[in-house]
Amino acid sequence: MPDDAATATEVIHVDDRTVACDGGDGALGHPRVFLHIEGASVMCPYCSRLYVLNEGAGHASGH
């Protein structure tokens, strides 16, 4: 597990290197941001959700 997992509010496993985060909770969330996972994970700067790329995922080429 990445070192950021200790400070994460939630850990979400994903299959794509680009994720959209809005903080959840409808109007109580934050503006939608698109995050790109360079290595194995990325943390949302607004809500501290940690997005972890699943093993073997994210190798497809895209735009």
Model confidence over 2-32: pLDDT tens digits?
A: 567 788 889 999 999 999 999 988 888 999 9
Mean pLDDT of the chain: 88
Q: Is the whole model's pTM more than 0.85, yes or no? A: no
- The CATH number linked to 16 is 2.60.260.40
Q: Is residue 63 part of a domain?
A: no
Across the strands, what pairs with 33? 21
pLDDT band per the 50, 70, 90 thresholds, residue 58: low
Q: Is residue 41 part of a domain?
A: yes
The pLDDT assigned to 10 comes to 93
Q: Is residue 42 part of a domain?
A: yes
**Secondary structure (3-state) at 26:** helix
Q: Which residue has the tokens 């109580």?
A: 28
d(CA 61, CA 2): 24
Task: Name the token pair of 2.
Answer: 């990445």
The count of structural domains within the chain is 1
Q: Is residue 22 part of a domain?
A: yes
d(CA 45, CA 7): 12
